[in-house]
Chain A
Amino acid sequence: MSTSVGDVVVTGLGATTPLGSDVASTWDALLAGRSGVSRITDDWAKEFPAQLVARLAADPAGQLDRVRARRLDRSQQVAAVAAEEAWRHSGAADSGVAPERVAVVFGTGIGGALTLLGQDDVLEEKGPKRVSPFTIPMLMPNGPAAAVGLAIGAKGGVHAPVSACASGAEAIRWGLDLLRFDRADVVLVGGAEACVHPLPMAGFAAMRAMSTRNDEPERASRPFDKARDGFVLGEGAAALVLERGDSARARGARVHARLAGAGGTADGYDLVAPHPEGEGAGRAIAAAVRDAGLTSADIGHVNAHATSTPVGDTAEAAAIRGTIGEHTLVTATKSQTGHLLGAAGALESVFTILALREQVVPATANLDDPDDDAAVQALDIVRREPRRAQFAAAVNDSFGFGGHNIALVFTTA
């Protein structure tokens, strides 16, 4: 999309994930093929059908001031940690940008579930007078965005898209729009999730959405593989700093990639089941490519949403094959990180940007025997080890319960 504000670029990256406490350690672990998945050993999990989780590599509370950490839900703690890394990394704080021209868009799928459920326990056990006065600010789904806004002093607007597992990607799309409409000069975008607790685990398990490969934690998340049986719940956050290309270059910022386009659609099909042919997903991808002024032949790499569920992966494969084609290098990094729900789109955008910058596509772990589905068979899914390649444009797509589809196109700086 050509607008008066010109191109939008990425100048800062941040993350705290099951693979590492920052972007560098996460990326290194990803390329090394390490898994963030483990089996829950807590007593409560003993009777659970799905006992696997991708926990954070580092406790976010340990990365924040103690008093500040105790007033933030874990989903807000991870948001703050990732956002502060991205903000530092961008150097935007030293650029002289007015706080009134700095905005935040930070999504979450579930919000402050640990606070909600923890304080419900307090209410039941000790009564209403013992419920924390920080309960509401810690559980509200705009909490991660608000915590990030305070952390970087953003006064140009703080927004919180909530679209399940598309939330992080949707935040990036909103950020692009804010810059294109000249509503801000710098936008910090991202997603956060931290809801490892018996209730969400039981709820996802009741949907039969989670892997029950409890005896082989590191082999459980296996997108596109014939033996996949569901996703593995992960926790963490990722953040990006977006700004206009001309001002970023004028201040000498390092540009990691361009955010060239975005597309968003709704399936209009079912509350939770994806359209079997990925119709809405395909429309989102096509819209993003068109928005970027590119054609499908230009897209050299796709970081797929691929959560390792039986129906989701084949629907997405059909969408990618139908809109991009069979030439593109596909990867599914949830095979190592687990599924970070509302943070997934942000984290996978960080991976897509690093893949572009470093010209290497991470491998899809555990893809031993690709599904017989025709689209999965037709796609070039990178497996066993990362693959070096030359490509100038890449897509990251994300889908959420509710039929939300978001696709983003990044290009080399």
Chain B
Amino acid sequence: MSEDIQTGLAEILEEVAGVAPADATPEKSFTEDLDVDSLSMVEIATAVEDKFGVAIPDDELANIKTVGDAMSYIQKNKA
């Protein structure tokens, strides 16, 4: 399950922000390591909702700092 989430998230990151799939590993920080800005994070949240059916409210989005944080959030809230 978490491999599916990582793969799906990597696809989103590549499409929205041009992040190479190999770089989308759990320890990576969106802003520090992957150069994903705040507007792109909003796009990523929308794409996550489409792909996984998991909506990320703004206050939760602010706490998602790394790829691993996003994976955990999706895992926890997936129906």
Footprint of B on A, CB under 8 Å? 65-67, 129-130, 132-134, 137
Footprint of A on B, CB under 8 Å? 16-18, 39-40, 42-43, 46
- What are the 8 tightest A-B residue pairs by CB atom distance, in nearest-first order? A67-B18, A133-B42, A133-B39, A134-B39, A133-B43, A67-B17, A66-B18, A130-B46
A137: nearest residue on chain B (CB-CB)?
B39
Q: Which residues of A contact B42 (CB under 8 A)?
A: 133
Q: Tell me the minimal C-beta distance from A392 to chain B in angstroms.
A: 49
When A and B form their complex, what is the total count of cross-chain residue pairs whose Cβ atoms lie within 8 Å?
15
Q: Which residues of A contact B46 (CB under 8 A)?
A: 129-130
Q: Give the docked Cα–Cα distance between A130 and B55 (Å).
A: 12
B18: nearest residue on chain A (CB-CB)?
A67
Q: Tell me the minimal C-beta distance from B30 to chain A in angstroms.
A: 14
Q: Tell me the minimal C-beta distance from A134 to chain B in angstroms.
A: 6
Q: Give the docked Cα–Cα distance between A66 and B40 (Å).
A: 14
Q: Which residues of A contact B18 (CB under 8 A)?
A: 65-67
State the main secondary structure of chain A at its contact with B. Answer: helix
Q: Which residues of B contact A134 (CB under 8 A)?
A: 39, 43
Q: Give the docked Cα–Cα distance between A132 and B47 (Å).
A: 11
Q: Tell me the minimal C-beta distance from B56 to chain A in angstroms.
A: 11
Other A-B pairs, 9, CB within 8 Å; known A134-B39, A134-B43: A66-B18, A67-B18, A129-B46, A130-B46, A132-B43, A133-B39, A133-B40, A133-B42, A133-B43
Q: Which residues of B contact A65 (CB under 8 A)?
A: 18
Q: Which residues of A contact B43 (CB under 8 A)?
A: 132-134
Q: Which residues of B contact A130 (CB under 8 A)?
A: 46
A68: nearest residue on chain B (CB-CB)?
B18
Q: Give the docked Cα–Cα distance between A133 and B45 (Å).
A: 11
Q: Give the docked Cα–Cα distance between A77 and B77 (Å).
A: 39
Q: Tell me the minimal C-beta distance from A98 to chain B in angstroms.
A: 26
Q: Give the docked Cα–Cα distance between A65 and B35 (Å).
A: 15
Q: Give the docked Cα–Cα distance between A67 and B34 (Å).
A: 13
Q: Give the docked Cα–Cα distance between A132 and B45 (Å).
A: 11
Instruction: Show 15 residue pairs from A and B whose CB-CB distance is below 8 angstroms, ordered by the A residue.
Output: A65-B18, A66-B18, A67-B16, A67-B17, A67-B18, A129-B46, A130-B46, A132-B43, A133-B39, A133-B40, A133-B42, A133-B43, A134-B39, A134-B43, A137-B39
